[in-house]
Amino acid sequence: MDDTITAARCGCCAHCLSPPLFSDRWGLIERDTFPAYVRFLENESKSRNLIGKPIGRRVGRFLLLARAGQLAVGFITRWRLRVNAQPTLGRQARRASPSASLRDNVPLQIDLTRPPTRAGMGFIAMNDHRAWTRPDHKTFAVTISLPNARSYMTNAQLVTVTSGAPGGQPSCVSVKLSPMSRDQARAALMSVTAAWGVDPETVEAWYKRPRSARMGHAYSTRVFTAQPVSFVLPELQVTHYVRTDQYVIDALFTWSISAAPPLRNHQE
């Protein structure tokens, strides 16, 4: 049994079953939401007109009733089914094989000492991600090998490798830890500040600030950026889910394809 989870996509809503790209919420804000907001403000007449329009008149075209026809046509006509044979995996994917790593208590190993490839990580056909987890949601050991003989080892609930562009090479690894209390999250963050070059004062400031519930938020997210390790940028993201009062830490490892060192010719 293969514990790898792959997500499907339908043509009418390309992101409805996409991989968990919310693991990098701050990156989404920096690269998408905030630039779009700045462009909106630059068009002064358009922005003033929209801001002055009542909310009830703005949202009409987004209501499900208004979009029912479009959604129905999309679900009927814009879908496809593909059957793919199991791919021949390269060395990087064999090291990260879930059949060995998640069932036999051998740490899942992901090699980031050089930029990974789609084939090396076992991306299948048009999928731009790969994920590892257990059906029972129990944690499993993970080792991320980094340049300069560095490594990150932990017990994770979910590990994903994603591409930032459709059909592109992998550019992000996300390691999601189990939910924990606020004090446990602080301890976990403080335990890696020295090794990863994270300012401990920023962690302490996050810990002492008012809880998200007092601000009326459903959740809040804070990202702590570590020192780069060659072409890889490690980040620690902590998310507070207010309803359950739980905190989830994601260790993020991202890199720019253009900034990564060139691949050397090698035999898999």
Predicted local confidence at residue 49, as pLDDT = 85
Mean pLDDT computed over 29-44: 80
Q: What is the pLDDT of residues 88-136, one digit of tens each?
A: 544 554 444 443 446 556 789 999 999 999 999 988 877 888 999 887 7
Predicted local confidence at residue 113, as pLDDT = 94
Mean pLDDT computed over 162-168: 87
User: Closest Cα partner for 111 from 32, 56, 170?
Assistant: 170
Q: What is the pLDDT of residues 40-68, one digit of tens each?
A: 888 888 888 888 888 877 777 777 777 77
More confident of the two residues 242 and 186: 186
**Share of residues in the chain with pLDDT > 70 (%):** 68
Integer CA distances (angstroms), 34 to 28, 29, 45, 253, in order = 9, 6, 19, 22
Q: What is the pLDDT of residues 217-226, one digit of tens each?
A: 566 888 999 9
Give Cβ neighbours of residue 98 (< 8 Å, ≥ 6 apart): 2, 3, 4, 108, 132
Q: Is residue 8 over pLDDT 50? A: no
Give Cβ neighbours of residue 138 (< 8 Å, ≥ 6 apart): 157
Least confident of 18-27, 36-45, 64-73, 242-251: 18-27
Please indicate, yes or no, whether the overall pTM of this predicted structure exceeds 0.85.
no
**Domain locations in the chain?**
1-259
Q: What is the pLDDT of residues 148-160, one digit of tens each?
A: 999 999 999 999 9
Residue 73, both tokens = 């046509």
Mean pLDDT of the chain: 76
